[in-house]
């Protein structure tokens, strides 16, 4: 019972924080699982994390759908673009031993922490002319509170970036949120609230595909007793995170989270180097 409660509490915290920063929780959960289950191979950790992240994304997507903040056309298109990379990432994970995998994830976390600790510049509508990879797709979204979001972004560039993120997200087992949200805001210039909600929906589609392949490969069987309490906590936490997202000044929270994850990434780097080199 204590085991269940501990992982339930972990899932709750990951769900709240992951949804607040639009990252799906995977970049928090995967390193924690690596540090807790030192005897499990990288593909088992990635599969377990992605299955929970998928449920987190489902819960968050439902909440954001009710708020009418999801750009559904964009999320489905970007998910399709990232699907091939997501499948390749599933198979690539099993080819990397725990030591090198821990090092790769540690380095990725450091990069992500640097990214999320620097807030994007104030949003400004894109005014470039159509043509080539910079051709603009125009959107107009009205949320449940009546707020209007009108913006334009480079659709082809977004699809290209999604294909890369799809691979990295499933290979590392963290989901695409922590990479895709900053890219959508900084490079594609999609409004932050829309980017966060749309990323959750895209995350749901790509991780569901990855989890299906992990299930077929038998990578979900080792830690099934962990998935249930984590999933329950994640679902509740994601709903809570989405509900308070518009009332919380997330910059301070994000910076605190970045510092904590930096410490975790350094521990992963040390652990991975110890296993790989010694």
**Does 130 score more than 50 pLDDT?**
no
- 163 pLDDT band (50/70/90 cuts)? very high
- Put simply, whether the predicted model's pTM sits higher than 0.85 gets the answer no
Q: Are 244 and 78 in contact (CB under 8 A)?
A: no
Which residue pairs from 270-273 have beta carbons closer than 8 angstroms and sit at least 24 positions apart in sequence?
271/34, 271/35, 271/38, 271/102, 272/98, 272/99, 272/100, 272/101, 272/102, 272/103, 272/104, 272/105, 272/106, 273/99, 273/103
**Residue 136: strand pairing partners:** 154
Joined together, the tokens standing for residue 270 give 């040390």
Domain of 227 in residue numbering reads as: 2-277
- Give the Å distances, CA to CA, from 19 to 11, 14, 22, 58, 171: 12, 8, 5, 11, 21
In the chain the first and final C-alpha atoms are separated, in Å, by 37
Per the listing, tokens 């995350």 go with 203
Count of domains for the chain: 1
**Does 136 score more than 60 pLDDT?**
yes
Tens digit of each residue's pLDDT (9 = 90 or more) over 21-74: 656 677 788 888 988 898 899 999 999 999 988 887 887 788 888 889 899 999
Q: Lowest mean pLDDT of 10-14, 15-19, 132-136, name the range.
A: 132-136
Q: What is the pLDDT of residue 59?
A: 77
Task: Tell me which residue of 222, 223, 198, 247 sits closest to 24, measured CA to CA.
Answer: 198
Rg, C-alpha atoms of the chain? 18
Distance CA 267, CA 229 (A): 25
């Amino acid at each position: 019972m204590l085991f269940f409660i501990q992982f339930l509490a972990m899932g709750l915290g990951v769900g709240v924080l992951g949804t607040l920063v639009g990252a799906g929780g995977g970049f928090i959960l995967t390193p924690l699982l690596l540090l807790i289950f030192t005897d499990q191979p990288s593909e088992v950790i990635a599969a377990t994390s992605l299955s929970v992240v998928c449920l987190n994304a489902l819960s968050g997507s439902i909440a954001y759908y009710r708020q009418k903040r999801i750009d559904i056309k964009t999320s489905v298109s970007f998910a399709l673009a990232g699907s091939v990379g997501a499948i390749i990432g599933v198979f690539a994970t099993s080819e990397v031993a725990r030591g090198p995998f821990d090092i790769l994830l540690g380095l990725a976390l450091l990069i992500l922490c640097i990214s999320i600790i620097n807030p994007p510049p104030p949003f400004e509508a894109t005014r470039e002319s159509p043509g080539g990879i910079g051709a603009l797709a125009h959107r107009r979204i009205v949320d449940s509170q009546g707020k209007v979001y009108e913006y334009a972004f480079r659709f082809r560039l977004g699809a290209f970036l999604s294909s890369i993120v799809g691979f990295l997200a499933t290979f590392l087992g963290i989901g695409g949120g922590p990479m895709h949200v900053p890219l959508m805001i900084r490079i594609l210039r999609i409004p932050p609230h829309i980017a966060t909600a749309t990323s959750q929906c895209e995350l749901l589609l790509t991780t569901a595909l990855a989890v299906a392949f992990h299930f077929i490969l038998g990578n979900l069987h080792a830690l099934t007793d962990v998935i249930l309490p984590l999933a329950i906590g994640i679902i509740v936490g994601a709903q809570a995170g989405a509900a308070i997202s518009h009332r919380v000044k997330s910059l301070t929270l994000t910076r605190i989270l970045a510092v904590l994850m930096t410490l975790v990434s350094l521990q992963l780097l040390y652990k991975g180097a110890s296993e790989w080199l010694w």
